[in-house]
Amino acid sequence: MSRHELHRPSTDPTPIFELFRGNFATELLTAAVAHFDVFGRLSRGPMAADDLRLALKLAERPAVVLFTALRAMGLLCRDDQGRLSLTELAREHLVPGGPFDVGGYIGLAARSPGVREMVDRLRSNHPNPSGSATEEGVAFVYREGLDSAMERESSARSLTLSLAGRARNVAPILAETYPLPECRTLLDVGGGSGLYSIAYLQRHPDLTAIVWDRPEVLKVALELAEELGVADRLECRSGDMFTDPVPHGSDVVLLSNILHDWDVPECRTLLSRLAEALSPGRRLLIHDVFLNDEMDGPLPIALYSASLFSLTEGRAYSAAEYREMLTDAGFEPGEVVPTLVHCGVLPAVRSS
């Protein structure tokens, strides 16, 4: 094996990612118990998700993040009319005043900075209500008018390299489990480090790829393409995926870890723009994490959703949610093929 070749890790790093995201369980549970009184409210009877959301004064995105996580934790469930209600576990231990209530114990964390910031974010539906998510601006997302870390050289570089660590593990598995033998041109939208394109280029010697991203991010992609021996087949093209013309002529478009950074309207806009640029029969790949279609798990994805909610304008979506967006945009969605670190690829074909 060449030293330039990307290859799969010998052990699965998924548990490390799960441990890293564990704080979101504490933050959401404590917010629900000590700041929003979710369990006290539901002890008076089941509520439609939208009624509970309005009672808590939450916008739709934070409500989905919070309710999905509480269901994934086994504390809320849906009754036969689809309303949110308490599980036996929550009824016995989280309703204020009950003989086995542990809400006071959970409340020990109520004033911790992580919990308070989570409560602020849930209430404001913003990555950081008091300013930017980082000193350099909001991470991972760029659109006109947003103070984005991806526009500054040092933060764009460090954020892109941080994702490159995950991509080095996952990209070779994506290229192996979902190869593109008959494709000639790949458009990697928001391709970041370019490692997903690079893995495909290494696998398919006749393939060329365009990584479409912000200029400061592309500096990293160019370095990696040179280091990994595919710079002659990888074009780094800078642009804004929401406003600039979509590069035409590709056989397949990759959206790797992109849609989860955006709220539903932006996901729909982006998918429609890509559909317009693709000829019938051409493919779009959503490489991402997927909540289950019930929206009650798996827990690691529900916690990752809270992380995405905290850093970006997005959250995790289910395959059913993506399928609806894809169909509305003019695609025929297929089945999810798992890759690594809870990711999978959902392929879709541009309808004729």
Binding footprint of ligand SAM on the chain (CB under 6 A): 140-143, 150, 160, 163, 167, 190-193, 196, 213-214, 217, 240-242, 256-258, 261
Residue 59, both tokens: 């916008």
Q: Whole-number minimum distance, CB 56 to ligand SAM, in Å? A: 29
Provide the token pair at 195. Answer: 């490692």
* Residue placing its CB nearer to ligand SAM in the complex, 167 or 329: 167
CA distance 188 to 233: 13
Which residue lies nearer to ligand SAM by CB, 214 or 350?
214
Helices and strands, counts by H and E, the chain:
14, 10
DSSP H or E run through 156: helix 153-177
Which residues are marked as active site?
260
CB of 146 to ligand SAM, least distance (A): 9
Strand-pair partners of 331:
350
Give the chain's radius of gyration (CA, Å): 21
Give min distance, CB of 69 to ligand SAM, in A.
21
Least distance in angstroms from the C-beta of 292 to ligand SAM: 22
* Shortest Å, Cβ 260 to ligand SAM: 8
Mark 172-187 as b/e (b = at least 16 C-beta within 10 Å).
Answer: bbbbeebebeebebbb
Q: How far is the CB of 213 from ligand SAM (least distance, A)?
A: 4
Give the C-alpha separation, 141 to 131, whole Å.
15
109 or 277, CB closer to ligand SAM? 277
Which amino acid, one-letter code, is at 225? A
CA distance 162 to 179: 25
101 vs 151 by CB, closer to ligand SAM: 151
Q: 73 is written with which tokens?
A: 């934790």
Q: How far is the CB of 226 from ligand SAM (least distance, A)?
A: 18
CA-based end-to-end distance of the chain:
42
Q: d(Cα 105, Cα 13) in Å, to the nearest integer? A: 32
Query: What sign has the CA pseudo-torsion 64, 69, 75, 79?
Result: positive
Report the residue number, 33 or 180, with the smaller CB distance to ligand SAM.
180
Omega cis (within 30) before 13: no
Nearer to ligand SAM, 27 or 213 (CB): 213
- In DSSP notation, 63-110 reads HHHHHHHHHHTTSEEE-TTS-EEE-HHHHHHTSTT-TT--HHHHGGGT
Q: For residue 72, which of 91, 55, 89, 50 has the smallest C-alpha distance?
A: 89
Residue 6 token pair: 């990307």
Q: Which is nearer to ligand SAM, 82 or 145 (CB)?
A: 145
